[in-house]
Chain A
């Protein structure tokens, strides 16, 4: 069998194993929590009998081991249970907010990776000059600043002080979009999207920018770039045509990892901007002790992250034949 296929199969197995372990850990975290998991659901006025019916309904009367088997079986079938708070299936609740998270994430990723690649080329071009140090220090600031704080400052300035952008949500108070398409075609939606997307892209900018810069510096030492310089090709042309093209691929691969980061970073940013997405849903589920919902949202976020790490690894081994996949652990 081809070595690459072998690697793909092995890596797929690893991914499934990781997902299974995460799901198991999650099960025990939620089941072994102190207190009755239904405490948020059961009204004090409920009779013993009603409580028992509920326990049965959620399968909480069975042994822990049985509950675990049912849980894993349900996961395989994409069944995540009932939300206590919304009194609806977790799948329904999640699928209502998921598009918002995807719009926010994709917009931010596109902005961050475009700006990061261009910025990385620019910093490599200005190597050794004052502006390079300024750029690097600025990037370090964006990595050390809490995202929610950046969001708060943007809100205070652009929303409250100058009233250019709305302060939160996806639509103006009182209006509802009739469909996803209607939302995407509405100018209002993009006004609401702007600040959260900007905040998330500032958070994501560091990785592509610094990666692009260091790749550029590596590539610039390669002999074909040396050759082009010797042949008298202009500096800009060398940078863009010879170096950037080759420095660019690993950055695109890193985008897969970026999606994973964005999923985690979303939690805080969505809360600051009251953006009805998956991250805010998770926070809400945790603060209302809605554990089926918290569990569902967390599994989805973790699943995306594990899958994107997998994609990045595969892409990386495909794009860079120098990676010796055989010698990997």
Chain B
């Protein structure tokens, strides 16, 4: 195997990892603070993708259209997230996790049918937006420049979330609430609102990541389950609720996927699960996670 093949797989793995981080960070953030595993996170991502497609078509703007559509889709998904948290999840925090899980599963079913009804079952895609239409040369090898857009966006989100969680007062509250929510509540901080906004943020990130996958030509039913399974692998490997863990998990899963495809395309997913299984056996709470009490 020559260097250029390895290098190009490595780079496509980085791009995939960046996309996975985009989606999984919202999932991990929500779980870290709310302690609710949102099965429907992938569905929010899918809905974001479909929404951005329709908004892009409606706007008909040559350059800005795509970016504007992505932002609008993210905002709408934030609103959807608010409805879900406010209308459903909030009433279930006192219940057991199986019921919470089942409730988010119900949301998957509803969103899937909604998408099927509104957009039908066909594959949709948005052409790559300028200036990311061509190729970029790295060490003399060409790479789709749109991949770099995804990587930059992923890095941007890393920085943003790092700043939010570790450098702001809200971040202090978020980390404190992840540790001991009763104590935070006792200090007079309105936990319910914190939860709502965290869920909204997670949903908006999911919507945005869905929107930016549209130029990969993969807006279709079923994209939700595909991504959520890989996101589960990411957060389980890295440790649920941990930001550095999600980053590392996304990198590992992206690389395993990229090289797995090279080796045997049908089994790419199987390789990811093997890594996940190994991590779960050695450290069931993930590389950067903490054991459940």
- The answer to whether A and B assemble together is no
